[in-house]
Structure 1
């Protein structure tokens, strides 16, 4: 799954605000309510690529159980420290999702900006769907490969470049030696083609809250927020505008 985490070294503490965390979790739970008869309090949840547990800790307030999978050891260790501090019941596992095994099945799976870190994304999501109950819901957020400013390193047009040129760009700007760890983002068309491979019904979601969406939506100056509102209105007018959106929100329900 995630082969290296250069960008984690560049993330500041508290990158995701409580406001965005709460809004994102509430959006995911709202979508479960709309698409599943199961009570929220009885949900068993899997948080794929959970990082330091930011979303997992919010989720556990509402559901029966949360399991967080994080392959990058330093971030996993941070999650464990935070778990002890909070006296949390979240179960954290330091493995790639492909290597995780359990007899348990999950009602809700979160994949919050993880697909762009997966060199074997088909294998990763095949495992995710195998871990889901029939009728279970997968909540995905992902950056758009065509968005001009790359989501993790904030370099213009980085995600548009071939790997060799992207790596050189990273080196010249002092952002790292390689872009490989975050280079697997998809376009709108690519997302549709990707999820067509799996036993699911999927659809792209325009969030009810402007705070939700691709990680970071709702944060920024007034001009940024205005652009976000305009973007949401355009997408509501026509799905075509997903092609030029900053990122995607998608749900997939396992058949």
Structure 2
């Protein structure tokens, strides 16, 4: 998703097995089995369609799934409704969905004004009793995930593209990852109550995929309270959203 799609590159994850695992993690983090069914679900920035397909074909959850994106890169097409959009505006009535998923979308929509509009649209189409899932890369992550460059998002905005070009990883840095403080301020201003889920998400990822590698094993050994204290530098910021 982007407010100026002609100026930005698609960054969709087209690895379908990873999208299924992402769907499973979202399901567990939000305790969707406890949600009243059928669940009217919107995924913003569906990419390959893997997450939308996961919920649309779920064996026990009854989900009516709609997905939107600024480009059609779907590898899976027939199990959910899809609409192309041109910006952050969502073509749906107020309070239309029980669940809205924005998974690594907000860093692609543009500047802070565009990000705030994205959040306001998420809230607008959520029912009063609905919930949202928001995930975004943290500006203070060590390695920027889209271009695989250390400290890329730490730099002032005017330095990011020159660094990208100097390292021959691209011609234009087209992402705008927020910091934890910036994102939480935008959530509050947009009228959301939110629950920080990154620590819980790490546990679920380790449960699903196993503790592979030294960092994963070390993280698995740390108490939740310690991991929560590292929230400001957690590479991925994940929240459950409710309307205030």
Give the corresponding residue for 1:27. Answer: 28
What does residue 118 of structure 1 align with? 109
State the alpha-carbon separation in 2 of the partners of residues 208 and 171 from structure 1.
34
Residue 167 of structure 1 is aligned with which of 161, 164, 179? 161
Taking the aligned partners of 1:129 and 1:225, their CA distance within structure 2 comes to 34
Contact 2:53 2:76 in 1 (8 A): no
2-structure distance, mates of 1:128, 1:220 = 34
Contact 1:97/1:128 (<8 A) preserved = no
Matched ranges for 1:231-242 at <5 A:
233-237=222-226, 239-242=228-231
Measure how far apart 1:243 and its partner are.
Answer: 1.1
Report the alpha carbon displacement of residue 194 of structure 1 after superposing the two structures with TM: 1.3
1:226 paired residue number: 217
| 2:127 counterpart of 1:133 | yes
Q: Which runs of 5+ in 2 are unaligned?
A: none
- Decide which of 83, 94, 100 is 1:109's aligned counterpart: 100
**Are 1:23 and 1:211, in contact at CA under 8 Å, matched by a contact in 2?**
no
Q: How many angstroms apart in 1 are the aligned matches of 2:146 and 2:100?
A: 23
Match of 2:91, SS state, is coil
SS in 1 for 2:150: coil
Residue 66 in structure 1 maps to residue 65 in structure 2 = yes
Match of 1:249 in 2: 238
Pick closer, same or farther for the CA change 1:207–1:239 going to 2, 3 Å: closer
TM-score (norm 1): 0.79
Contact preservation (8 Å) 1:45, 1:63: no
Structure 1 residues 69 and 18 mapped into 2: Cα distance closer, same or farther (>3 Å)? closer
What residue is the counterpart of 2:203 in the other structure? 210
8 Å contact kept, 1:107–1:136? yes
Q: As a proportion of its length, which structure holds more strand?
A: 2
Instruction: Classify the secondary structure of the residue corresponding to 1:179.
Output: coil
Q: How much does 1:160 deviate?
A: 0.7
CA separation of 1:247 and 1:25: change in aligned 2, threshold 3 A: closer
Question: Quick one: structure 1 residues 145 and 221, their matched pair in 2 at CA, closer, same or farther if it must change by over 3 Å?
Answer: same
Give the Cα separation in 2 of the matches to 1:171 and 1:15. Answer: 30
1:32 and 1:105, CA in 2 relative to 1: closer, same or farther beyond 3 A? farther
What residue in structure 2 maps to residue 191 of structure 1?
183
Which one of 44, 50, 57 corresponds to residue 48 of structure 1?
44
Q: Distance in 2 between matches of 1:132 and 1:91?
A: 18
What is the aligned residue count?
Answer: 232
Q: Does the CA-based 8 Å contact 1:69-1:96 persist in structure 2?
A: no
The one of 53, 56, 79 equivalent to 1:57 is 53
Unaligned 5+ segments in structure 1 are: none
Q: CA RMSD in A?
A: 2.7
Find the aligned partners of 2:33 and 2:193 in 1 and give their Cα distance: 14
**1:182-221 Cα distance to aligned partner (Å, 9 max, x none):** 2x211221122111112221110132663549xxx95895
